[in-house]
């Protein structure tokens, strides 16, 4: 296995050459192409890439990228426990939190999978005990609400997954507890969430891998202060999710503690105890295990070397084509599912924090563009908002649509001959074609030049299994892109400088007069 910069590959040069002749998919998009350009995914999902600006030759060249950069070999090395987080000298094992894909991953004679499986069992048992009334609040009442205190990966992923499954759980009779989230150090955030809670029936989950996250610790004390003032025993109302070496571990201040390790990054932790505790408590551990099974199925499929049989790999490579050769600096994620309202925000972290890097895995600057800006809102809402620019702006923004045949709840109404779910899908189909084909007009204002590329991930219904596979698809896509760009997608040194300067401000030792001036402006 060799790690070389993308622009040093033969494939890079050939793709750059190929990019000189535009593929006008606008004129090629017909039923035949739609039928042919579909790649099966895990959990019954499918990836449709007919409306992407890729021709046969492009696909062939993208396959050579996969081969030359040894993407599958690198993925398998990662799965087997090689130290792929080079900066922090760590393994990368979020896949192992859902299933073991090959041989056990051993360290110091211990099977790390055993550790993950043990924690999974422990928090599943804990959730069942709460549901069974074995754990109650300090006044003896059942818990009705779980409140996650965490930020970044301890917030965005779990929150997006909770919202994605809430309606499904209600429809299936699986909803056990409401979940809420406190993340921001802005005190109005915690104050508002607390004010909306019946504290004596709230179970808090404190999530910080290091046990030192400034925002999370401030919010912990905010909450404990409120619990104490309400006459409640904080130690009966809070569990911790942290690493075994953190100051929060094995601490009697918490009702129980569940562990993760340094091999699962925050943005990849939805399938660990970080997402598992809150999701198991909210929807039952069976739901969370289905979610893991969906992710594991996608992880398995992602080992396929043929890019036409591996949707995560193909999606990744089309993204690279769009970023490095068509030169698009952004990608919009547009789920036609209100349940996925915060899924784009989670992907924004997952993608931009992983591949928003200007140095390669050895710390040397690269000479090509890496991760794009990711943004998005659910459709049809976005259609009445920023789609104007997507259709008629001066730049081209690649699009990723997601849609489902059925709604989660099935609670619907027929108006003008169609139910709302049908309208939702009709809008989605219409948008793909509108973006791709556009519309000629004498009136420039009503002209759509088309040629706006999009892909579509679609399936029957958003269930836990489907959600798990969807999440893993994107995780693996981002991983493959990082391999192509020769990045370390698993650290986040870019967050450190702000932390250092914040400490300087709080200590009053500014060390920089502009920093002091800004602090004064803000009344620090």
- Span 486-505, contacts to a copy of itself by CB under 8 A: 488, 491-502, 504-505
207: left (phi over 0), alpha (psi -120 to 50) or beta: beta
**Binding-residue pattern over the window 57 to 96 for a copy of itself, x denoting contact by CB under 8 A:** ------------------------------x---------
Query: Which of 290, 353, 377, 475 is the catalytic position?
Result: 353
Active site residue 499: yes
| 7-46: contacts with a copy of itself (CB under 8 A) | 29-31, 33-35, 38, 46
Binds a copy of itself (CB under 8 A): choice among 2, 132, 188, 252: 188
- With CA atoms as reference, report the closest residue to 121 among 292, 266, 2: 292
Q: Which residues pair with 46 in a beta bridge?
A: 40, 458
Q: Is the distance from CB of 43 to CB of 467 less than 8 angstroms?
A: no
Binding residues for a copy of itself, rule CB under 8 A, total 159
Q: Is 197 near a copy of itself (CB under 8 A)?
A: no
Q: Tell the smallest beta-carbon distance from residue 24 to a copy of itself (Å).
A: 14
| 245-284: contacts with a copy of itself (CB under 8 A) | 266-267
Q: Tell the smallest beta-carbon distance from residue 103 to a copy of itself (Å).
A: 30
Active site residue 473: no
- With CA atoms as reference, report the closest residue to 14 among 63, 73, 74, 49: 63
Q: Is 403 near a copy of itself (CB under 8 A)?
A: yes
Active site residue 121: no
Q: Is 363 near a copy of itself (CB under 8 A)?
A: yes
Q: Which residues contact 520 (CB under 8 A, 6 or more apart)?
A: none
| 222-251: contacts with a copy of itself (CB under 8 A) | 222, 225
- Helix, strand, coil shares of the chain, percent, nearest 5, are 50, 15, 35
Binds a copy of itself (CB under 8 A): choice among 63, 269, 337, 455: 337
**Cα separation of 518 and 522, whole Å?**
6
Binds a copy of itself (CB under 8 A): choice among 73, 77, 99, 217: 217
Q: Is 198 near a copy of itself (CB under 8 A)?
A: no
Q: Which residues of 88-100 are buried (b: 16+ CB within 10 A; e: fewer)?
A: eebbbbbbbbbbb
Q: Tell the smallest beta-carbon distance from residue 104 to a copy of itself (Å).
A: 31
| 116-175: contacts with a copy of itself (CB under 8 A) | 151-153, 155-156, 166-167, 170
- Rounded to 5 degrees, what angle do the CA atoms 240, 168, 182 make? 30
**Cα separation of 442 and 419, whole Å?**
35
Q: Is 370 near a copy of itself (CB under 8 A)?
A: yes
- Rounded to 5 degrees, what angle do the CA atoms 279, 282, 288 make? 35
Q: Is 1 near a copy of itself (CB under 8 A)?
A: no
Binds a copy of itself (CB under 8 A): choice among 218, 230, 249, 308: 218
Q: Is the distance from CB of 229 to CB of 214 less than 8 angstroms?
A: no
Two structure tokens written together for 520: 């004064």
Q: Is the distance from CB of 363 to CB of 407 less than 8 angstroms?
A: no
DSSP 3-state assignment of 258?
strand
Measured between alpha carbons, how far is residue 281 from residues 8, 163, 206, 463 in Å?
49, 14, 14, 17
Query: Which of 460, 499, 503, 520 is the catalytic position?
Result: 499
Q: Which residues pair with 190 in a beta bridge?
A: none
Binds a copy of itself (CB under 8 A): choice among 349, 455, 469, 486: 349
Binds a copy of itself (CB under 8 A): choice among 16, 24, 83, 221: 221
Binds a copy of itself (CB under 8 A): choice among 12, 75, 321, 387: 387
Q: Is 391 near a copy of itself (CB under 8 A)?
A: yes
Q: Which residues pair with 400 in a beta bridge?
A: 333, 455
**Cα separation of 461 and 172, whole Å?**
13
- Residue in the structure block whose two tokens are 């503690």: 257
**Binding-residue pattern over the window 412 to 431 for a copy of itself, x denoting contact by CB under 8 A:** xx-xxxxxxxxxxxxxxxxx
Q: Tell the smallest beta-carbon distance from residue 136 to a copy of itself (Å).
A: 25
| 439-478: contacts with a copy of itself (CB under 8 A) | 439, 443-449, 456, 458, 460
- With CA atoms as reference, report the closest residue to 476 among 332, 319, 322, 324: 319
Residues taking part in catalysis: 353, 384, 499
């Amino acid at each position: 296995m060799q790690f070389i910069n993308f622009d040093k590959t033969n494939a890079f040069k050939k793709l750059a050459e190929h990019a000189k002749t535009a593929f006008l998919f606008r004129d090629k998009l017909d039923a035949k192409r739609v039928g042919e350009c579909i790649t099966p995914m895990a959990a019954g999902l499918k990836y449709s890439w007919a409306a992407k600006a890729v021709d046969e030759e492009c696909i062939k060249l993208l396959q050579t990228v996969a081969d030359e950069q040894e993407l599958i070999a690198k993925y398998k090395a990662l799965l087997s426990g090689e130290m792929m987080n080079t900066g922090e000298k760590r393994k990368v094992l979020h896949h192992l939190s859902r299933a073991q894909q090959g041989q056990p991953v051993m360290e110091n004679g211990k099977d790390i999978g055993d550790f993950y499986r043990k924690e999974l069992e422990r928090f599943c048992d804990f959730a069942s005990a709460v549901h069974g009334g074995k754990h109650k609040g300090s006044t003896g009442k059942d818990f009705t609400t779980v409140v996650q205190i965490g930020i970044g990966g301890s917030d965005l992923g779990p929150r997006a997954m909770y919202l994605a499954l809430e309606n499904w759980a209600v429809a299936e009779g699986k909803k056990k507890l409401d979940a809420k989230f406190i993340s921001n150090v802005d005190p109005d955030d915690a104050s508002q969430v607390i004010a909306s809670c019946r504290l004596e029936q709230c179970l808090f989950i404190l999530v910080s891998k290091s046990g030192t996250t400034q925002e999370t610790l401030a919010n912990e004390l905010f909450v404990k202060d409120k619990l104490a003032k309400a006459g409640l025993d904080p130690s009966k109302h809070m569990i911790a999710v942290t690493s075994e070496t953190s100051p929060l571990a094995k601490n009697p201040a918490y009702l129980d503690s569940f562990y993760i390790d340094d091999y699962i990054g925050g943005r990849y932790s939805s399938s660990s105890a970080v997402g598992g505790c809150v999701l198991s408590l909210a929807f039952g551990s069976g739901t969370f295990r289905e979610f893991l099974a969906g992710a594991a199925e996608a992880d398995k499929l992602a080992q396929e070397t043929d890019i036409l049989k591996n949707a995560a790999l193909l999606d990744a490579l089309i993204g690279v084509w769009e970023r490095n050769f068509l030169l698009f600096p952004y990608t919009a994620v547009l789920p036609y599912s209100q349940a996925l309202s915060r899924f784009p925000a989670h992907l924004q972290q997952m993608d931009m924090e992983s591949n928003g890097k200007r140095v390669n895995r050895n710390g040397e600057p690269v000479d090509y563009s890496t991760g794009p800006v990711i943004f998005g809102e659910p459709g049809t809402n976005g259609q009445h908002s920023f789609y104007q620019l997507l259709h008629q702006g001066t730049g081209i923004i690649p699009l990723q649509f997601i849609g489902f045949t059925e709604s989660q709840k099935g609670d619907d109404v027929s108006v003008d001959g169609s139910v709302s779910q049908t309208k939702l899908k009709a809008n989605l189909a219409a948008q793909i074609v509108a973006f791709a084909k556009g519309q000629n007009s004498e009136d420039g204002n009503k002209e759509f030049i088309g040629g706006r590329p999009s892909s579509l991930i679609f399936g029957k219904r958003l269930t836990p299994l489907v959600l798990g596979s969807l999440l893993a698809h994107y995780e693996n896509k981002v991983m493959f892109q990082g391999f192509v760009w020769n990045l370390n997608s698993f650290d986040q040194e870019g967050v450190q400088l702000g932390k250092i300067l914040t400490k300087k401000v709080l200590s009053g030792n500014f060390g920089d007069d502009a920093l002091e001036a800004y602090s004064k402006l803000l009344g620090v």
